[in-house]
Amino acid sequence: MEENVGKSGLTAASVARAKPKEKPYKLSDRDGLYLLVKPSGTRYWRMNYRFHHSQRTITFGRYPEVMLADARERLLKARRLLADGVDPVDQAKLDKMADSVAVSNSFEVVSDEWLEKVRFEDRAAASIKKYEWQLGLVMPAIGRRPISKISAHEVLLALKKIERTKKFYTATSVRTTCSQVFRFAIATARAERDVCADLRGALVTPKVVHRAAITTPKEAGALLRSIEDYEGDRQTQISMRLLPHVFVRPGELRHAEWKEFDFDRKVWTIPEHKMKMRRPHAVPLSRQAIAIIREIGHDADYSLYLFPSLRSVNRPMSDNTINCARWLRRLEQKLTPGQQRCSRSGQILQSRRCIAVRGPPRACRSLHPSRRTGLPVTAVPA
């Protein structure tokens, strides 16, 4: 049954007064819109139309969730689709499917896929762990949001939360990682742009703190004497004595394995998966370096590592074992093992190692004092 109202259509008051009857009935509005009132009391906004010689019905929602003005606006959109030759019911299904796909392509889902891609690229385990930690900082804010609908302001709010803890470098680093996720989403057709690019200049730029570096032979000698005077664990002292002769990163030294050393050829070959740049690296061994290695009180039968952990021979020495050595705290400039590599004294000591190796490779010749530091060979400390 259908009940007609005035030419101006329904009013908000007439819709609110509509009461259920024994049978369903309609209250017509205008332009084909009507309110279907069921015996249960539920009321639906609907429109009947013909498409390709077929009678169809579209529902715009239930009253009072959808008010009269909202129903008329949805009616207008449906009539525009019909004018363009598009079935509004089919379009509604497509929109629903698109929303479902968008939800499945949340920032969290896309970031997980990006992390999987990075793992296949054989990135360092420490790098993967850092990425996971950084993305975890923004997951509560944008993790469940469809990545294509995330705005720059949403990302900024998540980063500002990190900034409020005075971790400025972390905030900028997280922005860079999020940017890589957005670029991955663009490449896989799940986002149109990298919204993190709009945040350049919006975050506090952290002040670069330059660490102390030894720059004179006298200071280099003091460093070596401090290592020799170290009274802690014997293995720790040997590792610290060896470090100035090989000049690798502390992590590369800690993970050194016996099988990587060729004492006949006097070379240590670090495999690519242990290197930061993912390229194998050959380290020439001087007679002094070999003599230090010979002082290690075990071989490959005891542990595959030159410097195993004190707790388990199946694990390498921990990162803190080197960094927390007492000689380090006694140094006036608090130079860390990693900073030795960037100091000029490191280049001097490296040149001494290269000179001691028979037939130094080209990479070592480039570290000669006259080429890298401008210091004469006689300036090398004894």
pLDDT in tens, 67-95: 999 999 999 999 999 988 998 888 888 88
Q: Answer yes or no: do 146 and 191 share one domain.
A: yes
Please check whether residues 60 and 160 belong to one and the same domain.
no
Q: Are 37 and 24 in contact (CB under 8 A)?
A: yes
Report DSSP state, residue 308. Answer: B
Q: Which domain holds residue 29?
A: 2-92
**What is d(CA 232, CA 326) in angstroms, rounded to the nearest whole number?**
8
pLDDT for 7-59, tens place per residue? Answer: 578 888 988 888 999 999 999 888 889 999 999 989 999 999 988 888 899 99
Distance in angstroms (rounded) separating the CA atoms of residues 213 and 229: 21
177 — pLDDT class (breaks 50, 70, 90): very high
Into how many domains does the chain fold?
3
Backbone angles phi, psi at 244, to 5 degrees: -65, -15
Structural domain contains residue 253: yes
Would residue 323 count as lying in a domain? yes
Of 212, 216, 239, 211, give the one whose Cα is nearest residue 227. 239
CATH of the domain at 323: 1.10.443.10
Say whether both 269 and 302 belong to one domain. Answer: yes
Say whether both 355 and 284 belong to one domain.
yes
**Whether 193 and 222 share a structural domain:** no
Burial class (CB in 10 A: 0-12, 13-18, 19+), 14: middle
Please tell me the distance from the alpha carbon of residue 170 to that of residue 154, in angstroms, as a whole number: 17
330-381 pLDDT per residue, tens: 443 445 555 555 554 445 444 444 444 444 444 333 333 333 333 333 333 3
Does 230 share its domain with 346? yes
